[in-house]
């Protein structure tokens, strides 16, 4: 813990791009990286941190083309084109974890980003204004799930002087053959533009290999999700809401496969131990489905849940929602993947997906974290609440902020969580 705290404090004191690059360069050196990895209590945490550092190092090195991308893009395409992905929204989560969000949010406010906007995007925008991120060669965004990235990322493009390298993948509302055609056409066009800029032609074999790796990742992720249908005892500090970066931007790489394979192995061993303990008569906790994201700064939420004989057994964001990709039809496959996301189109796409999770994980209660300014998710809160209630499952709509700790009431969250836990565990 001391190492991590030291790193955190050093970044806080030296908050500039050169220092971040230097630090990542040091941390990503093999002996240092594995020594750092060994400070984590679980294999899944260890590989998560190692691969995250390597991925960030690749972006900050700027040895090859870097593309800023919003969440929910098909990052397989970036890897197949040899472009290092960099996700400002995920970085905003890191600003919260590293205690930097007060600075980035302040910068965003002074740059006229309204305080009513999502803090993931505000914090990322502040970081861009502070020049904390690597220089992008391209900026790719999508309207999948929400409107925010397509607007804020254009501003980034102007800031970096690359407006002509800003690209929006416009994801249609419905998932049908017309939409697949429209979106796959955009993907193919974008691949040609990027390959034209980087000077390496679109390599169909490389695309096929990347999509095969994506499928391999998908298989491991499904196996993990399968284990979790029974698992309630997890490695220390395991939190399924921490895997956004590999789940999105590493997909299509060997690293993502290795990470998810290691998570599977670790969780499988915990499941065996759990089964042995259950034979000795230990009671199992109430199973909670977590919807949306969580606060990425230090907080007590999950300790309170665990201490209340409850356990988050699945998170909406870990749902493997997309069908297997066809390596022979990369653009069509990736379009199908984007269109099958439950956050596209109607709220009923989301509730249908949640319904399957409720059944698969035998859910006792749901928590919808309503992150400040997330219109697309919070706008469905009433429908989600009613969906749970109609099925007789208690649900808690927990207001808060994933990035800005000053915009969350710790006391109120605690009180509401405790009340919810009492409902799940009546005396």
Partner 1 sequence: MNRDIDLKDFFPLPPEKDRGKDKIGWFCTYTPEELIMAGGYSPVRLMGEKALRTAESYFPINFCPYLKSGWQSLMDSAGSLSGAVFTNSCDGMRRLFDIAEHYLKGLPVFMLDVPRRTDRESIDFFSLKLEEMLAFIEGLRGSTISPPEIADSAALCDRKRQALAHLSDLFFKGGRDLDISQYYRIMELAATADAADLISGILSLNSCLKQAAGEKSARGPRIMVIGNFITEEKLWDLLSEMDLELVCDDLCISNRYYEKQVGTAAKTNRKDLLSAIALRYLTKPACMRMADTGAKIEDFKQKIRDRGVQGVVFISLKFCDTVLYSFPLIRKELAALKIPVLYLEIEYNNFSEGQVKTRLQAFLEMI
Positions touching partner 1 (CB under 8 A) are 111-114, 116-118, 121, 125, 143, 146-148, 150-152, 154-155, 158, 163, 168, 170, 172-174, 178, 182, 185-186, 345-348, 370, 372-373, 375-376, 378-383, 386
Nearer to partner 1 by Cβ, of 11 and 347: the residue is 347
Nearer to partner 1 by Cβ, of 55 and 370: the residue is 370
C-beta separation of 167 from 54 below 8 A: no
Nearer to partner 1 by Cβ, of 242 and 351: the residue is 351
Beta bridge partners of 138: 67
Q: CA-CA distance, 414 to 357, in Å (whole number)? A: 25
Nearer to partner 1 by Cβ, of 204 and 346: the residue is 346
Nearer to partner 1 by Cβ, of 174 and 226: the residue is 174
CB of 230 to partner 1, least distance (A): 33
Nearer to partner 1 by Cβ, of 150 and 195: the residue is 150
Three-state SS string across the chain, please? Answer: CHHHHHHHHHHHHCCCHHHHHHHHHHHCCHHHHHHHHCCCCCHHHHHHHHHHHHHHHHHHHCCCCEEEECCCCCCHHHHHCCCEEECHHHHHHHHHHCCCHHHHHHHHHHCCCCCCCCHHHHHHHHHHHCCCCCCCCEEEEECCCCCHHHHHHHHHHHHCCCHHHEEEECCCCCCCHHHHHHHHHHHHHHHHHHHHHHCCCCCHHHHHHHHHHHHHHHHHHHHHHHHCCCCCCCCCCCCHHHCHHHHHCCCCCHHHHHHHHHHHHHHHHHHHHHHHHHHCCCCCCEEEEEECCCCCCCCCHHHHHHHCCEEEEEEHHHCCCCCCCCCCCHHHHHHHHHHCCCCCCCHHHHHHHHHHHHHHCCCCEEEEEEECCCHHHHCCHHHHHHHHHHCCCCEEEEEECCCCHHHCCHHHHHHHHHHHHHHHCCC
Strands 395-400, 365-371: parallel, antiparallel or unpaired by DSSP? parallel
Burial 272-295 (b: 16+ CB within 10 A, else e): eebeeeeeeeeeebbbbbbbbbbb
CB of 154 to partner 1, least distance (A): 4
CB of 118 to partner 1, least distance (A): 8
CB of 149 to partner 1, least distance (A): 9
Beta bridge partners of 84: 66
CB of 148 to partner 1, least distance (A): 6
CB of 138 to partner 1, least distance (A): 15
Q: CA-CA distance, 394 to 262, in Å (whole number)? A: 34
CB of 156 to partner 1, least distance (A): 10
CB of 182 to partner 1, least distance (A): 5
Nearer to partner 1 by Cβ, of 137 and 344: the residue is 344
CB of 201 to partner 1, least distance (A): 22
Nearer to partner 1 by Cβ, of 110 and 269: the residue is 110
CB of 43 to partner 1, least distance (A): 38
Nearer to partner 1 by Cβ, of 113 and 331: the residue is 113
Q: CA-CA distance, 72 to 70, in Å (whole number)? A: 6
CB of 166 to partner 1, least distance (A): 8
Nearer to partner 1 by Cβ, of 113 and 260: the residue is 113
Nearer to partner 1 by Cβ, of 43 and 150: the residue is 150
């Amino acid at each position: 813990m001391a190492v991590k705290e030291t790193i955190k404090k050093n970044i806080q004191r030296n908050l500039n791009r050169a220092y971040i690059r230097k630090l990542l360069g040091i941390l990503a050196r093999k002996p240092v990286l594995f020594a750092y990895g060994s400070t984590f209590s679980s294999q899944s945490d260890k590989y998560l941190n190692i691969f995250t550092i390597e991925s960030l190092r690749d972006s900050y090195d700027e040895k090859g083309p870097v593309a800023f991308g919003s969440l929910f893009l098909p990052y397989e395409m970036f890897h197949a084109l040899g472009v290092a992905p960099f996700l400002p929204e995920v970085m905003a989560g890191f600003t919260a974890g590293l205690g930097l969000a007060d600075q980035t949010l302040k910068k965003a406010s002074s740059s006229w980003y309204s305080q009513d906007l999502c803090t993931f995007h505000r914090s990322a925008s502040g970081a861009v204004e502070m020049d904390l991120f690597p220089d992008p060669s391209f900026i790719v965004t999508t309207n999948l799930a929400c409107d925010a990235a397509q607007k804020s990322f254009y501003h980034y493009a102007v800031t970096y002087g690359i407006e002509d390298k800003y690209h929006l993948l416009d994801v249609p509302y419905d998932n049908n053959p017309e939409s697949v055609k429209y979106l796959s056409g955009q993907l193919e066009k974008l691949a040609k533009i990027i390959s034209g800029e980087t000077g390496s032609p679109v390599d169909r074999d490389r695309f096929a290999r990347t999509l095969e790796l994506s499928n391999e990742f998908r298989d491991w992720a499904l196996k993990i999700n399968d284990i979790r249908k029974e698992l309630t005892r997890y490695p220390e500090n395991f939190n399924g809401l921490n895997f956004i970066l590999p789940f999105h931007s590493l997909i299509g790489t060997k690293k993502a496969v290795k990470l998810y394979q290691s998570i599977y192995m670790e969780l499988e061993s915990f499941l065996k131990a759990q089964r042995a303990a259950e034979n000795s008569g230990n009671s199992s906790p109430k199973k909670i489905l977590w919807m949306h994201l969580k606060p990425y700064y230090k907080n007590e939420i999950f300790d309170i849940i665990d201490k209340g004989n409850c356990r988050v057994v699945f998170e909406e964001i870990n749902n493997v929602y997309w069908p297997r990709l066809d390596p022979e039809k990369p653009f069509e496959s990736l379009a199908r993947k984007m269109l099958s996301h439950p956050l596209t189109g109607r709220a009923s796409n989301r509730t249908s997906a949640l319904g399957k999770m409720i059944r698969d994980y035998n859910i006792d209660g749901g928590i919808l974290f309503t992150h400040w300014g997330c219109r697309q998710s919070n706008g469905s809160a009433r429908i989600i609440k009613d969906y749970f209630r109609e099925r007789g499952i208690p649900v808690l709509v927990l207001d808060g902020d994933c990035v800005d700790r000053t915009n969350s009431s710790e006391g109120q969250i605690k009180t509401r969580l405790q009340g919810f836990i009492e409902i799940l565990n009546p005396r």
